[in-house]
Structure 1
Amino acid sequence: MNMEPLEIFEVYSAIESEAAVYRDITADVMSDLRLASAIGRIKIEIYPEGSLYMLAAMLRDVEMPIRISDMASVDTSYEGGEGFVKITIDREKYMPELTHFLWNKYTPANVVQADRWTILIRAEEPAKEAETLPAQIIANPSKNLHADMVEFSIRCVPEGFRVRYHTYENNEYLFIASEDIIEPTQLEHAKKMMEKLRKAVPDVTETKTADGKEKREAKNKSETATAATTGKEGQ
């Protein structure tokens, strides 16, 4: 999978040989959750002897809450003598969220997908509904990203690190996990990680991507093919 490059992707472990392993785990989970395009910079530090895991990430800007008017136009329509609210889709990106919202509000029996771009809704007062629907919020990308980042962190953290703390503010996400109580000094260290991440200058000569699993698989295939070719030549 071709991922958008990260500006900074750093993983440090007090046990040096484990850093690459944690980096691959991070890349794989990032890929699974499709977060690479949302994360601009990420720095992770792991101290196994101290049972401490710290993650600082700067996230790219996400869309504001999505209203129906952002993806569709709303009007009334009369079909077979019956009045409907007519929604004409302009953007399909948030169709699942729109459908879920309409089903909850009107029940599935009253929501008809006339075609790919048209939804008809049975309502007692179609004109009134058509007037209020455009302002309704159907998705909040920022809120979804917050939840995804929490899941991302939990899946990356070593097993047994069940004491957790995180903050998410102004596109900055900080996560700490430990087997023990998180100390104020550890929190301060994590905040300094974030501060360094803000000030860091990306290395423009190196492309950092969240493709750990894909890169390993490609490398393994390449090595296998090379070995097979070498074997044939030696026969």
Structure 2
Amino acid sequence: MSEKVFVESLDPSYQYGYGVLMLKVIAEHALSELSLGGALEELRILVDMRKPLVAVRALLGPPLPPIRVMDCARVQEAADGIHVVLLDEGQAPFLAKLLREKFGGSLEQLDRWEVVVPAGAMPAKELERLVVSHPQERMGERIMDALERVIPVGFRVRYAEREGNSLLILASENPIPDGWVEEVKEALRKPPSPIPPEKMEGIRRKVEAAEILPKFKEGAMPWRL
């Protein structure tokens, strides 16, 4: 699997500093915990401890199509109406909401998996095409959640920019001048520089042994433990 998470320091003297290495661990953990591996093509993080500044650029993957009734349930016509049998439990609340909105109290609930839509209420083929949920919207929320986990608590001054499939966020404790934005964009024009695996081995062992990750969920900053 190709590497997706890159963390680099804008200060050459701190290229493999503790904060840089920890941010990579945190970012990888966030993507894994939120199941975002397929939603992002690349997550690139630039840090400068002197300013201080954290910049996160996410390249989003192809948009996800909407989930329709036919994607998560089996639709069968019968003498008593149209039977809708749930196949994907993850879509259960969205499907239930859709059917209630469309058919209200006329639905007959046979069990937790199956309901009957009254005969003549809607053609079965039309019912199959109804949109149950929009995964892209929920994916966007999870991506923002991941980015918030990467940005240290206290970095409340933000600059955000969205262009095409690229989302860029700068965060700092201090006002963000235009010069910082241009510095980050200039750095992002260059190919990412992966951290050598041997640099990550030690920090990963320390994280596993000391259970450091929960501290970051509580808001500790990588360079201020």
TM-score for the superposition, normalised by structure 2 = 0.68
* Cα deviation 1:68-127 (Å, max 9, x = unaligned): 23344534433xxxx4332245666644432343345445893625475xx32344x644
1:59 is matched by which residue type in structure 2? L
Q: 1:131 to 1:159 in 2, by over 3 A?
A: same
Deviation, structure 1 residue 138? 1.8
Q: 1:56 to 1:103 in 2, by over 3 A?
A: same
Number of matched residues?
201
1:163 is matched by which residue type in structure 2? V
Instruction: Please show how residues 201-220 of structure 1 align to structure 2 within 5 Å.
Output: 216-217=207-208
Residue 155 (structure 2) pairs with residue 154 (structure 1):
no
Secondary structure at the residue paired with 2:122? helix
Secondary structure at the residue paired with 1:40? strand
Q: Any gaps of 5 or more consecutive residues in structure 1? A: 207-211, 221-235
Instruction: Please show how residues 57-68 of structure 1 align to structure 2 within 5 Å.
Output: 57-68=58-69
* Cα deviation 1:125-171 (Å, max 9, x = unaligned): 64426454333222222222211111111121111111223344543
Distance in 2 (CA, whole Å) between partners of 1:147 and 1:12 is: 25
Instruction: Please show how residues 119-134 of structure 1 align to structure 2 within 5 Å.
Output: 119-123=114-118, 126-128=120-122, 130=124, 132-134=126-128
1:162 is matched by which residue type in structure 2? R
Deviation, structure 1 residue 41? 1.8
Q: Any gaps of 5 or more consecutive residues in structure 2? A: 198-202, 211-225
Deviation, structure 1 residue 54? 0.4
TM-score for the superposition, normalised by structure 1 = 0.65
Partner residue of 2:220? none
Deviation, structure 1 residue 47? 1.8
C-alpha contact 2:158 2:172 (8 A) present in aligned 1: yes
C-alpha contact 1:84 1:120 (8 A) present in aligned 2: no
C-alpha contact 1:72 1:88 (8 A) present in aligned 2: yes
Runs of 4 or more consecutive aligned structure 1 residues displaced over 4 Å after TM superposition: 88-93, 103-109, 113-116, 200-203, 212-216
Distance in 2 (CA, whole Å) between partners of 1:161 and 1:122 is: 52
Larger radius of gyration: 1
Q: Percent identity, please.
A: 24
Distance in 1 (CA, whole Å) between partners of 2:167 and 2:37 is: 14
